[in-house]
Structure 1
Amino acid sequence: MKMRRRSLFICLFAAASAHAWEVGEFKQGMNRSEVEQTLRTWNFDKVVPSGSDALFAYDLPSSPAGRRFLFTFCNNRLVAFDQEVEPAFRHFVVVASNYSNQYGNPLKVIPYSSVIATGEKNLLAMFWRKGTDYLGVKYVLYPTSEQLSMTWQVSNTCWQAPR
């Protein structure tokens, strides 16, 4: 009986770790220095710390690549990755539709509106669960611009995922 429990535990652990997200060369659980080292090979125009728990890597507006990545850490381990893409509501619909077809109904939907210095800010975020991972898409409409990002997150001890 003990052997069965141990085998079941090992199988569950292996199944859970098999679901850990990986985007490009960036894997959930990497430490900050590994992410920084990997970023050097991507040749971003800028890589800057964003607070004590995040790195923001981006290309300047003049760059045709237009990449914008946000890496969030908890206890020096990568727990979230956000990738901005060309902002358009129709792109949001395509990504959300694809995720819904692949993972079913969203686990969590976050509608949020507020007023900022330049006017209204409206956010619509949707999250799906894949094993122990959360996949999401966020669309933010500002008074003079918009932002669309895809996010990959994992539960952690620093904040409640998904967010």
Structure 2
Amino acid sequence: MTALGLLAGLLLALPAQAWEVGEFRNGMPRAEVEQALKTWNFDKALSIGNDGLFVYDLPNNPAGRRFLFTFCNDKLVAFEQEVEPAFRHFVVIASNYSNLYGNPLKVIPYTSVVANGEKNLLAMFWRKGSDYMGIKYVLYPVSEQLSMTWQVSNNCWQAPR
């Protein structure tokens, strides 16, 4: 019984794994995220169903910020931030993650056809504890998109995605 109590105490003493990006952290209630976003002065905020919040700047705004927050049971479980799209930036970020976390846990190459041509995606994910860090590069017929993502396992969908 003493050994079982000691083991339980050790497990409770372990540091919780949770990503934190700026003032946004895994497990934050949606209302707290929305309150924190008020100081960021984004041009637009768009709810995406019950579990998503997309905030962004209009094209004429030089800040060009785009964040996507995903919630599960009203708690923040994923955060995605777009960065300046360039394959060179993808390589730099992927290299930095590999140096920090080793080989990727998951690599997703995907090609499909959209209305104006071919869409190519390359996503890579690393794991640290229960956290997943990833990078996604999407090449569209006339544009490209690069985003970094932080996710945690949850009851609503399988991470990483």
TM class by shorter chain equals over 0.9
SS at match of 2:40: coil
Correspondent of 1:9 among 8, 11, 23: 11
Correspondent of 1:123 among 121, 124, 134: 121
Amino acid in structure 2 at the alignment position of 1:5: L
Distance 2:38 2:6 in 1: 46
Distance 2:138 2:27 in 1: 28
- Give ranges in structure 2 of 5+ residues lacking alignment: none
SS at match of 2:89: helix
In the alignment, does 2:53 pair up with 1:71? no
Distance 1:4 1:52 in 2: 42
In the alignment, does 2:84 pair up with 1:86? yes
- 1:104-144 residue CA offsets vs partner (Å, 9 max, x unmatched): 00000000000011110000000000111000000000001
Amino acid in structure 1 at the alignment position of 2:80: D
Distance 1:141 1:54 in 2: 23
SS at match of 2:113: strand
Distance 2:4 2:87 in 1: 54
- 1:61-117 residue CA offsets vs partner (Å, 9 max, x unmatched): 111111000000011100000000000000000000000011000000000000011
Give the CA deviation at 1:3. 2.4
SS at match of 1:7: helix
Amino acid in structure 1 at the alignment position of 2:89: H
Query: What percentage of residue pairs aligned between the two structures are identical?
Result: 74
Distance 2:146 2:38 in 1: 25
Distance 2:11 2:63 in 1: 44
Amino acid in structure 1 at the alignment position of 2:158: Q
Query: 2:18: which partner in 1?
Result: 20
Correspondent of 2:138 among 120, 123, 140: 140
- Give ranges in structure 1 of 5+ residues lacking alignment: none
Correspondent of 1:114 among 101, 108, 112: 112
Distance 1:3 1:82 in 2: 40
Amino acid in structure 2 at the alignment position of 1:132: S
Structure 1 vs Structure 2 CA RMSD = 0.8
